[in-house]
Amino acid sequence: MILNESQKDILNEWFEKNPYPGIDTRDYLAKVTGISEFQILTWFQNQRTRRRRQKYKCNFGKCQTQVQDKLQFKHEEARQIRTNFTRSQIKTLTQAHDKNHFPGIAARKQLAKQTGISDKKIVGWFLNQRAWHQHQRIGETSGSMAEDPHQIPHASDQLPPNNHSTNPNSFRHLSPSNAVISKQSLASALFPPLTPFGPQDFFRGSMSQFPRAKRVQPSQAVQRRENCHVVSIDTTRLSMGMTLGVKIPLCTPNQRQCQDPSEHTGSEILPSKHSTQPPPDSQQWLDLGQIDPHLFLQHWDEWLQSVIAEWDPCERTPVSRKN
């Protein structure tokens, strides 16, 4: 949804007066502009962040102006009155939460209809529930986490049910432990084999140092258009300090073409048939610090060129090697 100019004018005018509008102001603006109070709230949040970034170039931590702004407007307007959910409402929400911790817009609408609770409050309730469950899990499992990788915080939260098996970007929903497995599989499919310390090993070395999975937006990923052709791999947390935001065509010449995202499962990310290497588990993991980035990039480049040279997009199967 894109706001029109008159809506923006109204919001901007009010933003100049108070960047932290209370519930009454937001309700009023919702009526005036014809958009929801939740969207007003979101718009003000985005505006605060973006104006601050633009004006003060405050890219780290909380800058002084932010604190001053909050102090100035903090008590100017009332918060929304705290809601007391009924038992039946909590029961319905809890059941939904047990099934899916990240309800999309459709699921939330359904819940809103069932409970009579606004979408905004449902979003907030799920946020608080996830935070609370995570808090509980940390307390319960702090002693056994190292032994059981599935007990790592976020493990269940990062796994929206019924989605990760068919979502082509599904590895992004996984817990750190599962993400390692998935990225290894992906690396097997995408990275050049037979290199002494090629990207595959590079990845495996790097993943061992990942403190946690890349932040994800599960419901977004579920709701929005799924593109099976591109997988974005975030390696910003590599200890080497290398930043490689690479977008890789998921359909390598050695895979069948991805025409329907719904056809995809995690198992489709198969290792290249050119790969004659033993399974990753049988190989030694390399310390990332030992890898020469230039050599890595050279291997990467060579491999990509060989793939492109062999790839016939008209064929559903790869062109066989001539030699």
Window 41-100: residues binding DNA (CB under 7 A): 41-46, 48-50, 52-53, 58-63, 66, 69-70, 74-75, 78-85, 90
Please report how many Cα atoms fall inside a 13 Å half-sphere around the Cα of residue 93, on the Cβ side: 22
List 72, 128, 257, 305, residue binding DNA (CB under 7 A): 128
Q: Which of 323, 221, 232, 318 is nearest to 273 (CA)?
A: 318
Which C-beta is closer to DNA: that of 220 or that of 305?
220
CB closer to DNA out of 216 and 288: 216
Q: What is the smallest separation between the CB atom of 256 and DNA, expressed in angstroms?
A: 23
Give rounded-to-5 percent helix, strand, coil for the chain: 50, 0, 45
Contacts of 286 (CB under 8 A, 6+ apart): 197, 201, 202, 204, 205
Smallest gap from residue 279 Cβ to DNA (A): 29
Q: Which is nearer to DNA, 203 or 303 (CB)?
A: 203
Q: Is 34 left (phi over 0), alpha (psi -120 to 50) or beta?
A: left
CB of 34 to DNA, least distance (A): 12
CB of 269 to DNA, least distance (A): 17
Residue 233, helix vs strand vs coil:
strand
Q: Which is nearer to DNA, 81 or 292 (CB)?
A: 81
Q: How far is the CB of 265 from DNA (least distance, A)?
A: 18
Among the listed residues 34, 91, 138, 161, the single contact to DNA using CB under 7 A: 138
CA distance 96 to 89: 11
**Binding residues with DNA: total (CB under 7 A):** 78
Instruction: Report the 10 Å Cβ neighbour count for 40.
Output: 23
C-alpha triplet 8, 13, 17: angle, nearest 5°? 140
Q: Under the criterion CB under 7 A, does residue 218 sit at the interface with DNA?
A: yes
* 109 Cα distance to chain centroid: 22
Residues 261-290 touching DNA, rule: CB under 7 A, are none
Of 199-207, 210-218, 280-288, 305-313, the window that binds DNA (rule: CB under 7 A) is 210-218
1 contacts 58 by C-beta, under 8 angstroms: no
CB of 147 to DNA, least distance (A): 16
Q: How far is the CB of 193 from DNA (least distance, A)?
A: 27
Site for DNA in 3-42 (CB under 7 A): 3, 8, 20, 22-23, 39, 41-42
Cβ distance to DNA smaller for residue 2 or 323: 2
Please return the burial class of 175, using the count of CB atoms within 10 Å of its CB with bins 0-12, 13-18 and 19+: buried
- Kindly tell me which residue out of 97, 154, 173, 274 binds DNA, with binding defined by CB under 7 A: 154
Residues forming beta bridges with residue 246, ordered by sequence position: 233
Binders in 230-259 for DNA, by CB under 7 A: 232, 234, 236
